[in-house]
Amino acid sequence: MHSGFVAIVGAPNAGKSTFLNKVLGFKLAITSDKPQTTRHRILGVYNQPDLQVVFLDTPGLHQPRRALNKLMVETALSTLQEVDAVLFVVEAGAKGLEAGSKAAGVLTAAGKPVVLALNKIDLLPDKAALLPMLEEVATWGDWAAMVPISARQGDGTRQVITELAGRLPEGGPLFPVDMLTDLSERFLAAELIREKVFRLTEREVPYSVAVTVDQFLEPGEEGRPTAITATIHVERGGQKAIVIGRGGAMLKKIGTAARLDMERLLGTPVFLDLFVRVEPKWSHQDRGLRKLGY
C-alpha cells in the first residue's frame, strides 16, 4: 500500500477545487468562476484498497496586495513544504498558460515530485491544440508527468491518481478510511454561504465578504432541523446594500441556495438565519482577519 500528502496548487481559477470534489465524489471545496475562491487549505482524503491520498487543496498563487491575499498565498506556499508530491493544475488556453507559467517557478523550487494536470480540455474546440500546449508547459520545469484532464467531466483524473500514487511512499493509511476531511461542519457551512456570494455577486463584493457561523444547533428530536445562524461581513455600507438586495431579494437567494447545499451536506433539514454586517477594512488588516477566522 502507498499513502501520502499531495498539495493541489496552481493559479487562481485553474480548477483545483473542482478536481478535488470530482475525485472525492463529494462537494467538499467551494468553487466559482471567479479567481481566489479558495482561501483556506482544504484537506480531503481519497481512498482505494491499496492507496490513500491526502489531498490539500490550496488558494491560487497570485501577486498578493491585501493582508487577506498575503495570507492565502502563504497558505499555499507553506503547504508545499508539508507534502510528498504536488499536483500542479494549469488551465489550458493562452490565459491559463500565462498564469501557470508564473506559478511554475515556486513549484520547481520546492523540490517535490510534481504532476502537472492540463485542465479544462473539454473547452478546446480542436484537440490538435493540446500537443503544442503540452510542449510549452514541459519547458517550465522537470515534471514527473503531464496529464491532460477535464476536472469538470472527470476525464484523465484516474491517470492523475495513478501518476501521483507512484510518487507516494509505501505505508498504511494516514487517516481512518471513513474520514473524508478534518474540517468541521461549521466551517463547511460558512464556506457554502461564501460560495453563494461568490456566485451571485459581482466586482469587488465577493472579495470583501467573509462569513462567520455564530450558532450551530444540532438537529433535535421530533425532526427539529439543524439551526444555523451566520453573518456575512462586508467592508462598506454599499456592499451591505448589494448583499441584501432590493427588498432583501439577494440575501434570500444566497440563503436559499446555501441552505439547500447544507441540507445535502448534513443530511438533515436546515433552518438558516443570515445577517449582514459592515466590518470596515477587515481584509486589509491582520486584526480584521483574526476576528473573522483567518
Ligand X SMILES: Nc1nc2c(ncn2[C@@H]2O[C@H](COP(=O)(O)OP(=O)(O)OP(=O)(O)O)[C@@H](O)[C@H]2O)c(=O)[nH]1
Residue 13 interacting entry, from ligand X, Mg ion, none, C-beta within 5 to 8 Å by type: ligand X
Task: Pull the grid cell for residue 46.
Answer: 481519497
Nearest alpha-carbon partner for 197 in 247, 235, 250: 250
Nearest alpha-carbon partner for 84 in 6, 8, 9: 6
Sheet holding 210-217, edge to edge: 210-217, 226-234, 270-278
Question: Please, are residues 60 and 12 in contact by the beta-carbon 8 Å criterion?
Answer: yes
Residue 165 interacting entry, from ligand X, Mg ion, none, C-beta within 5 to 8 Å by type: none
Q: How far is the CB of 252 from Mg ion (least distance, A)?
A: 26
Residue 44 interacting entry, from Mg ion, ligand X, none, C-beta within 5 to 8 Å by type: none
Site string for ligand X, 76-115 (x = CB under 6 A): ----------------------------------------
3-class DSSP state of 203: coil
Task: Pull the grid cell for residue 176.
Answer: 481512518
Residue 119 interacting entry, from ligand X, Mg ion, none, C-beta within 5 to 8 Å by type: ligand X
Amino acid identity of residue 267, one-letter, is G
Residue 12 interacting entry, from Mg ion, ligand X, none, C-beta within 5 to 8 Å by type: ligand X
Q: How far is the CB of 7 from Mg ion (least distance, A)?
A: 13
Q: For residues 53 and 61, which CB has a smaller minimum distance to Mg ion in the complex?
A: 61
Measure the N-to-C terminal CA separation of the chain; round to a whole number of Å.
Answer: 36
Interior angle at CA 59, CA 190 and CA 180, nearest 5: 60
Q: How far is the CB of 226 from ligand X (least distance, A)?
A: 26
Site string for ligand X, 136-175 (x = CB under 6 A): --------------xxx-----------------------
Q: Does the protein bind ligand X through residue 4 (CB under 6 A)?
A: no
Q: Does the protein bind ligand X through residue 206 (CB under 6 A)?
A: no
Given its phi and psi angles, is residue 201 left (phi above 0), alpha (psi -120 to 50 degrees) or beta? beta
Q: Does the protein bind ligand X through residue 35 (CB under 6 A)?
A: yes
Nearest alpha-carbon partner for 51 in 148, 163, 154, 156: 163
Interface with ligand X by CB under 6 A: which residues? 10, 12-18, 31-33, 35-38, 59-60, 119-120, 122-123, 150-152
